[in-house]
């Protein structure tokens, strides 16, 4: 009798134990499916980046390997005449234009943006945080075509009247881009300056330093990598911007002699000609090579940003 | 020295705010007189004055919906992986690197990639759908980052409570963590919508620079004149502003561009403001219990 009850008991116990110890098959599949879906989505990001690099590179390199243009000629020749006889593929004017316009924009926007960031965090923190910061963050979202359009309707005529030139110029491009990247630089620099520990400021002020001395020697010094990050982010945006620049720079392939001369950039060259050339022709391939240059430049910007980010972590 | 610096910095701040407010004011006042129902709904006129931006406005919104339909599931999926599953290894680092690369690619490069893959290789030609795919590539990094942050901000205790009840990890993510993180994700999605709405360079060579004559009574998905057909070329509002300025033939091109720019600015500001407002509203709603 006793024996029989015990037997039933162990049977039940082992059943329960088995149920608890073995995987619930339905739950197991559910877990695995979910995990796989999430992983596929994440892997997609990698696939997209790799395929962008692959496709643009394979198209862009065909200028050199199929059409037989030499890389050094392509990068350094100043004559761009892809429809001439013989066709000339010197993209140096475009490269120079891109760099000049980016540098000009950064030169104007960096001091202004960082200055505004200091004003918002150190001089009028209350007003800065409540009013200025939200306004500037809103402005980050303004579409670049709008900046280009304003440049076209206000800036270009203004320059034309002031200096008695065409108006479409390096200066107009630099100013439009400066305006466009100002909000970006200001908001990133503000975050970097806000992250400086209050103790550092207090220590400096306790030593008898004035507010400006504190800002210059302590706050700016310790937020330098962050402020540089802000400027490089702005420059990356300026370098890759296409339409806003194209609308105001005049698009000539001659080398500029002054700030008031019209220029071309890599992006404006691509935008204007990609639609009018036939796929697979040397002219078209040369445009893809310019796109490849843009891609490589954005890799360079990322490397600089990563380097600055590591600097910040060390701090 | 201290006083000079204060004055200079204040002047800089005033200059920036003045310029930016002036910019917004300029666009809005220039375009204000064009903002009537007729301009917003009638099709553009290629030669004569008096054309509107109806199809462009519709295309912009439709493209936004299409893009979000594709990008949101992908972005949330990848965000879940990064926040909940990703082990600390080389592959994860590689994904992070990819996100960084994607988010700093010039939009024209994304557009050219779209031209190669979504337009030429698929053989679709310039279509709304190609444009939506290109914009998906463009916005994925933002959505992934926002989702990951939102998921990580959900309190650990909620997750542990669910797991302690014997609920599987995936169920926990889908029915406990994701709903709690939804406000953050939605705020990010609205911000991304603003970007989609204003983007032009990535669309020039994917969605195209022209729009067929749309028949707004035709709702079949296959008809070439149906507004809902995703496989037709579509010019959006932002592209229209660019095109009118660089190759517009109408005598009132400037006027049309003024109106379109004002509409674009208002739409983008609305997206950004609503994201902000929605974020604070949800925050208040969710924390009101503890106050």
Radius of gyration of chain B (CA): 23
Q: What is the pLDDT of residue B49?
A: 67
Q: What is the mean pLDDT of each run of 10 residues along chain B (291 residues)?
A: 84 85 87 78 71 83 91 94 90 90 90 90 87 92 92 90 88 88 86 86 84 72 75 85 76 80 87 82 66 37
CA–chain centroid gap for B86, Å, is 27
d(CA A265, CA A248): 11
User: Taking the CA of residue A277 as centre, how many other CA atoms within 13 Å lie in the half-sphere pointing to its CB?
Assistant: 18
Are residues B117 and B215 both part of a single domain?
yes
* Whole-number Cα distances in Å, B79 to B74, B134, B209, B244: 8, 19, 33, 39
Contact by Cβ (8 Å): A102, A236 = no
Closest residue of chain A to B173, computed from CA coordinates: A34
Q: Is the peptide bond before B34 cis (omega within 30 degrees of 0)?
A: no
Strand-pair partners of A263: A250
DSSP labels, A232-264: HHHHHHHHH--HHHHHHSB---SPPSSTTS-B-
**How buried is B158 (Cβ within 10 angstroms: 0-12 exposed, 13-18 middle, 19+ buried)?**
middle
| pLDDT above 70: residue A303 | yes
Q: Across the interface, do A44 and B74 touch by the CB < 8 Å criterion? A: yes
pLDDT one-digit tens code per residue, A158-185: 888 888 888 888 999 999 999 999 989 9
Task: Report the CATH number at residue B247.
Answer: 1.10.3720.10
B41 plus B23 within the same structural domain: no
Is A109 among the domain residues?
A: yes
Contact call for residues A232 and B100 (beta carbons, < 8 A): no
Q: What is the model's pTM?
A: 0.86
Residues B116 and B251 in one domain: yes
Query: How distant is the Cα of B168 from the closest Cα of chain A, in angstroms?
Result: 7
Q: How far apart are the CA of A234 and the nearest CA of chain B, in angstroms?
A: 10
Which residue, among A41, A230, A241, A266, would best test binding to B if mutated, counting the most B CBs under 10 Å from its CB?
Answer: A41
Separation between Cα atoms, residue B114 and residue B66, nearest integer Å: 16
d(CA B140, CA B137): 6
Flag whether A101 is in a domain. Answer: yes
In-domain check, residue A79: no
Do the Cβ atoms of B100 and A243 come within 8 Å?
no
Angle at the Cα of A32 from the Cα atoms of A30 and A36, rounded to 5 degrees: 120
pLDDT of residue A22: 63
Let me know whether B72 and B8 are in one domain: no
**Full 3-state SS string of chain B:** CHHHHHHHHHHHHHHHHHHHHHHHHHHHHHHHCCCCHHHHHCCCCCCCCCCCCHHHHHHHHHHHHHHHHHHHHHHHHHHHHHHHHCCCCHHHHHHHHHHHHHHHCCHHHHHHHHHHHHHHHCCCCCCHHHHHHHHHHHHHHHHHHHHHHHHHCCCHHHHHHHHHCCCCHHHHHHHHHHHHHHHHHHHHHHHHHHHHHHCCCCCCCCCCCCCCCCCCCCCCCCCCCCCCCCCCCCCCHHHHHHHHHHHCCCCCHHHHHHHHHHHHHHHHHHHHHHHHHHHHHHHHHHHHHHC
State whether A240 and B108 contact (CB < 8 Å).
yes
Give the structural domain span for A146: 93-279+293-314
A169 neighbors A250 (Cβ within 8 angstroms): yes
Q: Are residues B144 and B261 in the same domain?
A: yes
Cross-strand pairs, A250: A263
Q: Reply yes or no on whether the pLDDT at A314 is more than 70.
A: no
- pLDDT higher than threshold 60 for residue A144: yes
- Give dist(CA B174, CA A24) in Å, integer: 19
3 state DSSP class of A89: strand
What is the DSSP code string of A149-175?
HHIIIIIHHHHHHHHTS-S-SHHHHHH
How many residues appear in chain B?
291
**Count of domains observed in chain B:** 2
- Residue B252: Cβ-neighbour burial (10 angstroms; 0-12, 13-18, 19+): middle
SS3 A80: strand
| Residue A177: CATH number of its domain | 1.10.3720.10
Q: Answer whether B113 touches A (CB < 8 Å).
A: yes
Q: Within the 21-50 window of chain B, which residues sit less than 8 Å (CB to CB) from chain A?
A: 23, 26-27, 30
Can you give the pLDDT at residue B151?
A: 92
Give yes or no: residues B194 and B56 share one domain: yes
Give how many domains chain A has, as a whole number.
1
ipTM of the complex: 0.85
Report which DSSP code applies to A35: H
Give ∠ CA B107-B43-B195 in degrees, rounded to 5. Answer: 25
Q: Do B9 and B82 share a domain, yes or no?
A: no
The contacts of residue B155 (CB under 8 Å, 6+ apart) are: B180
For residue B98, count other CB atoms closer than 10 A to its CB: 24
Domain of residue B267: give its range: 36-290
Q: Span A57-78, mean pLDDT? A: 84
Are residues B136 and B186 both part of a single domain?
Answer: yes
Tens-digit pLDDT profile for residues A240-277:
998 889 888 888 878 888 888 888 899 988 988 888 88
Q: Are residues B23 and B83 in the same domain?
A: no
pLDDT at A112: 92
Q: Taking a contact as any Cβ pair under 8 Å apart, which residues of chain B between 145 and 164 contact chain A? A: none
The pLDDT confidence band at residue A2, using thresholds 50, 70 and 90, is very low
Q: Which of A309, A283, A166, A313 is nearest to A230 (CA)?
A: A309
Cβ atoms B169, B236 nearer than 8 A: no
Residues of chain A found within 8 Å of residue B109, distances taken between Cβ atoms: 52, 56, 240, 291, 294-295, 298
Provide Rg for chain A, Cα atoms.
Answer: 29
pLDDT at B39: 77
Domain co-membership, B82 together with B28: no
Q: What is the pLDDT of residue A234?
A: 93
Does residue A154 carry a pLDDT above 80?
yes
State how far the alpha carbon of B115 is from the alpha carbons of A82, B118, B127, B138, in Å.
22, 6, 10, 14
Residues B242 and A145: beta-carbon distance below 8 Å: yes
pLDDT tens, residue by residue, A48-64: 999 999 999 998 898 88
Q: What is the pLDDT of residues A123-135, one digit of tens each?
A: 888 887 787 887 8
Asked if residue A284 is part of any domain, the answer here is no
Nearest to B205 among A142, A144, A275 (CB): A275
A 10 A CB-CB count for B155 gives: 10
Instruction: Please indicate whether, in this complex, the C-beta atoms of A48 and B102 are within 8 angstroms of each other.
Output: yes
Question: What's the rounded Cα separation, in Å, for the pair A293 and A299?
Answer: 10
Say whether A75 sits in a helix, a strand or coil: helix
* Residue partners of B4: CB distance under 8 A and separation at least 6: A212
CA distances from A240 to A147, A153, A270, A301, B3 (A): 15, 22, 11, 11, 39
The SS3 call for residue A88 is: strand
Same domain, B40 and B22: no
Q: Which of residues 81-120 of A touch B (CB under 8 A)?
A: 111-113, 115-116, 118-120
Distance (Å) from the alpha carbon of B102 to chain A's nearest alpha carbon:
7
């Amino acid at each position: 009798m006793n024996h029989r009850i015990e037997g039933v008991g162990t049977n039940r116990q082992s059943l329960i134990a088995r149920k608890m110890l073995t995987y619930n098959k339905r739950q197991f599949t559910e877990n695995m499916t979910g995990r796989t879906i999430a992983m596929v989505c994440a892997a997609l990001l990698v696939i997209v980046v790799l395929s962008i690099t692959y496709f643009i590179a394979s198209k862009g390199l065909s200028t050199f390997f199929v059409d037989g243009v030499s890389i050094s000629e392509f990068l350094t020749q100043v004559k761009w005449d892809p429809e001439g006889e013989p066709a000339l593929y010197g993209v140096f004017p475009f490269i120079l234009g891109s760099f000049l316009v980016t540098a000009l924009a950064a030169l104007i926007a960096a001091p202004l943006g960082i200055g505004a960031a200091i004003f918002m965090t150190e001089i009028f923190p209350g007003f800065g945080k409540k009013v200025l910061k939200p306004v500037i963050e809103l402005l980050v979202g303004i579409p670049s075509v709008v900046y280009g359009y304003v440049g076209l309707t206000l800036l270009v005529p203004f320059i034309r009247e002031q200096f008695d030139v065409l108006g479409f110029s390096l200066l107009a491009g630099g100013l439009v881009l400066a305006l466009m990247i100002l909000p970006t630089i200001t908001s990133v620099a503000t975050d970097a300056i806000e992250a400086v520990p209050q103790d550092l400021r207090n220590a400096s002020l306790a030593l008898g330093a004035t507010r400006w001395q504190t800002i210059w020697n302590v706050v700016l010094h310790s937020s330098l990598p962050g402020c540089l990050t802000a400027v490089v982010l702005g420059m990356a945006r300026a370098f890759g911007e296409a339409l806003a620049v194209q609308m105001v720079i005049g698009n000539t392939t001659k080398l500029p002699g002054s700030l008031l001369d019209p220029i071309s950039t890599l992006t404006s060259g691509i935008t204007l000609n990609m639609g009018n050339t036939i796929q697979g022709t040397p002219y078209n391939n040369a445009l893809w090579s310019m796109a490849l240059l843009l891609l490589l430049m954005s890799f360079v910007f990322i490397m600089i940003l990563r380097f600055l980010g590591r600097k910040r972590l060390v701090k | 020295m201290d006083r000079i610096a204060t004055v200079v910095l204040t002047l800089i701040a005033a200059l920036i705010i003045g310029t930016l407010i002036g910019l917004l004011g300029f666009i809005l006042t220039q375009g204000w007189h064009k903002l009537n129902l007729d301009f917003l709904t009638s099709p553009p006129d290629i030669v004569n004055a008096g054309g509107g931006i109806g199809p462009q406005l519709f295309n912009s919104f439709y493209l936004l919906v299409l893009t979000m339909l594709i990008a949101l599931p992908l972005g949330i999926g990848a965000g879940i992986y990064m926040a909940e599953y990703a082990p600390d290894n080389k592959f994860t680092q590689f994904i992070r690197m990819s996100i960084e690369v994607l988010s700093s690619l010039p939009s024209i490069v994304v557009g050219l990639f779209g031209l190669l893959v979504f337009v030429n290789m698929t053989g679709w030609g310039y279509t709304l759908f190609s444009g939506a795919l290109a914009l998906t590539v463009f916005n994925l990094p933002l959505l992934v980052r926002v989702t990951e942050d939102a998921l990580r901000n959900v309190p650990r205790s909620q997750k542990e409570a669910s797991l302690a009840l014997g609920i599987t990890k995936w169920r926990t993510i889908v029915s406990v963590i994701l709903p709690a993180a939804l406000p953050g994700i939605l705020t990010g999605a609205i911000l991304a919508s603003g970007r989609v709405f204003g983007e032009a360079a990535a669309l020039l060579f994917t969605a195209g620079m022209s729009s067929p004559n749309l028949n707004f009574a035709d709702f079949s998905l296959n008809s070439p004149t149906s507004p809902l057909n995703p496989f037709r070329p579509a010019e959006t509002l932002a592209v229209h502003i660019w095109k009118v300025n660089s190759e517009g033939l109408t005598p009132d091109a400037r006027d049309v561009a003024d109106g379109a720019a004002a509409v674009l600015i208002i739409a983008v500001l609305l997206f950004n403001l609503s994201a902000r407002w929605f974020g604070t509203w949800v925050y208040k709603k969710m924390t009101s219990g503890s106050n």
